């Protein structure tokens, strides 16, 4: 299977990212042959430490990314979310993609980044319980693990990371591919329809 030409996804890495949310998303999207690039927000390609002491090296430094080629962003949560929400380069990319109606996805506390640039205004969204009061004008849906609102997908946290990633595969490739991956990783709960 060739990479999906319709979507080129950027997943940023910022110190304090939630490891499960990053690894599960990148792994599952790559299993679906979706073109994913991981980029470190700090300068350099060196390993970036997550919120639980696991260090992961991004594919490239942020400065090496051809931002014009990026058609979607997936934001992992964790304490690193605050740093992402202060990065002018990332905020500019999210704004551009939002204006173009491109896919945006955020999990755990990362919907705060979307809220910061107004993407969640008037939309249904979910997040980790600790971030829900800061989602601005979003219509917060606390009882759903994964929430689609137009081109924006949000999810609650590390425990929903696989379901979140499978929802992206279902939308960007096909529900059949998402179900194939779910079966292959023996994921039996909360699979896409």
Residues acting as catalytic residues: 108
> How far is residue 11's CA from residue 33's CA, in Å, rounded to a whole number?
15
Output the 3-class SS for 4-31.
EEEEEEEEEECCCCCHHHHHHHHHHHHH
DSSP 8-state secondary structure symbol assigned to residue 72: E
Residue 186 backbone zone (phi > 0: left; psi -120 to 50: alpha; other: beta): left
Decide: residue 66, CB within 10 A, 0-12 exposed, 13-18 middle, 19+ buried: exposed
Please give the biggest Cα pair distance in the chain: 42
Residues 126, 135: Cα–Cα separation, whole Å: 9
User: What CA–CA distance (Å, rounded) separates 140 from 114?
Assistant: 13
């Amino acid at each position: 299977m060739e990479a999906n030409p319709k979507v080129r996804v950027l997943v940023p890495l910022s110190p304090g990212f939630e490891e499960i949310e990053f690894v599960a998303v990148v792994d599952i999207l790559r299993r679906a042959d979706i073109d994913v690039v991981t980029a470190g927000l700090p300068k350099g390609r060196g390993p970036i430490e997550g919120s639980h002491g696991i260090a992961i090296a991004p594919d490239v430094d942020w400065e090496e990314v051809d931002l014009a080629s990026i058609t979607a962003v997936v934001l992992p949560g964790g304490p690193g979310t605050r740093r992402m929400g202060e990065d002018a380069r990332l905020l500019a990319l999210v704004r551009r993609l939002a204006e173009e109606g491109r896919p945006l996805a955020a999990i755990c506390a990362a919907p705060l980044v979307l809220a910061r640039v107004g993407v969640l205004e008037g939309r249904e969204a979910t997040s980790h319980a600790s971030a829900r009061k800061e989602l601005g004008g979003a219509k917060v849906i606390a009882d759903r693990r994964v929430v689609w609102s137009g081109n924006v997908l949000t999810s609650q946290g590390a425990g929903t990371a696989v379901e979140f990633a499978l929802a992206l595969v279902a939308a960007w490739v096909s529900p059949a591919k998402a179900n194939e991956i779910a079966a292959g990783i023996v994921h039996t709960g909360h699979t896409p329809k």
